[in-house]
């Protein structure tokens, strides 16, 4: 590395340092003046800064792998409000600090939709975190002091959008119900939530049995929330049936 490249790296212009020879050659070829060269370098560095920021937000968001909405079969569910789902994907609820609750049986794409919402929020420059309900409550419940618990609660309140997946598949005791209530209360009317559940709110007492905060929890969730219900048969069951029929046809064809 040349002394100039080292100096550029030291002041944070790493991309310029790595492409220094090419930039000089390009500026010479195009006969740029000093201002034109500096403008080009500024654009390159700003684009690189935006790219790195996006990569960091995607990594910290823990969105994981997901299918894009272009793969979603809108014709398969028996009931789905496509306009409302697409409004959520446009992040209209974030503008008013609202919530989105996706209610659907297993295998109808609610997690896929939630992760696509999270991805759109990251692309729009928001900080996002995706976590399953069981993972979040296990982590909160394992804290061994009030200080460490408060620190983890602040972690779940830090992000502009928190996506809590798979509420309803497991039941939780009163302590877990209280912890979930604290997460929701800290974000209430301050920052947005997206939740996925396989149960209607009337069935949530089976998730938090005997929890005195269940009613207050639901009240805070649905206030300022868009509740999107999806009805129909599982995509995965459909795909399994298609695969099964395909395997049966192959020996017959042979």
Residues 106 and 220 in one domain: yes
128 within domain boundaries: yes
Residues 34 and 73 in one domain: no
242 within domain boundaries: no
Residues 161 and 93 in one domain: yes
| Dist. CA 31–CA 21, nearest whole Å | 15
Strand partners, 193: 162
64 within domain boundaries: no
Q: What is the dihedral of CA 216, 220, 221, 225, to 10 degrees?
A: 140
Q: What is the dihedral of CA 111, 112, 113, 119, to 10 degrees?
A: 110
User: Can you give the pLDDT at residue 248?
Assistant: 60
Q: What percent of the chain has pLDDT over 90?
A: 72
250 within domain boundaries: no
Residues 211 and 149 in one domain: yes
231 within domain boundaries: yes
**Token pair belonging to 173:** 């005791």
Residues 145 and 203 in one domain: yes
Residues 34 and 96 in one domain: no
Residues 43 and 116 in one domain: no
- Tens of pLDDT, residue by residue over 65-119, are 999 999 999 999 999 999 999 999 999 999 999 999 999 999 999 999 999 999 9
Structural domains in the chain (count): 2
Q: By C-alpha distance, which of 228, 247, 252, 251 is closest to 103?
A: 228
198 within domain boundaries: yes
Specify whether the CB–CB gap between 79 and 204 falls below 8 A.
no
By the 10 Å C-beta count (0-12 exposed, 13-18 middle, 19+ buried), 136 is classed as buried
Residues 30 and 132 in one domain: no
Residues 127 and 187 in one domain: yes
- Tens of pLDDT, residue by residue over 7-26, are 999 999 999 999 999 999 99
DSSP letter string over 15-34?
A: HHHHTHHHHHHHHHHHT--H
With 90 as the cut, is the pLDDT of residue 205 above it?
Answer: no
With 90 as the cut, is the pLDDT of residue 54 above it?
Answer: no
254 within domain boundaries: no
Residues 111 and 194 in one domain: yes
Domain ranges, residue 35: 3-56
Residues 91 and 144 in one domain: yes
The domain spanning residue 98 has which CATH number? 3.40.50.300
- Tens of pLDDT, residue by residue over 219-246, are 998 888 999 999 999 976 666 555 555 5
Higher per-residue confidence, 247 vs 39: 39
**Torsion over CA: 23, 26, 32, 33 (sign):** positive
Residues 166 and 75 in one domain: yes
245 within domain boundaries: no
pLDDT band per the 50, 70, 90 thresholds, residue 46: very high
């Amino acid at each position: 590395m040349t002394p100039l490249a080292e100096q550029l790296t030291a002041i944070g212009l790493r991309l310029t340092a790595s492409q220094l020879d090419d930039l000089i050659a390009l500026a010479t070829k195009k006969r740029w003046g000093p201002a034109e060269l500096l403008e080009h370098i500024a654009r390159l560095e700003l684009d690189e800064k935006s790219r790195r920021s996006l990569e960091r937000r995607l990594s910290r968001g823990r969105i994981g792998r997901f299918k894009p909405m272009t793969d979603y079969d809108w014709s398969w569910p028996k009931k789905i409000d496509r306009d409302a789902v697409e409004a959520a994907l446009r992040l209209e609820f974030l503008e008013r600090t609202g919530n989105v609750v996706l209610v659907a049986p297993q295998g109808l794409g609610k997690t896929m939709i939630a992760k696509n919402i999270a991805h759109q929020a990251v692309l729009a420059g928001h900080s996002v975190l995706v976590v399953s309900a069981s993972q979040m409550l296990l982590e909160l419940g394992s804290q061994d002091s009030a200080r460490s618990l408060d620190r983890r609660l602040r972690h779940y309140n830090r992000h502009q959008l928190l996506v809590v997946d798979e509420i309803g598949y497991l039941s939780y005791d009163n302590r877990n119900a209280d912890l979930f209530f604290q997460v929701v209360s800290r974000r209430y009317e301050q920052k947005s939530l997206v939740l996925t559940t396989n149960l209607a709110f009337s069935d949530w007492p089976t998730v938090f049995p005997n929890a005195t905060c269940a009613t207050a929890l639901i009240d805070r969730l649905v206030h300022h929330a868009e509740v999107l219900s999806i009805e129909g048969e599982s995509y995965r069951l459909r795909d399994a049936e298609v695969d099964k029929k395909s395997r049966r046809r192959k020996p017959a064809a042979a």
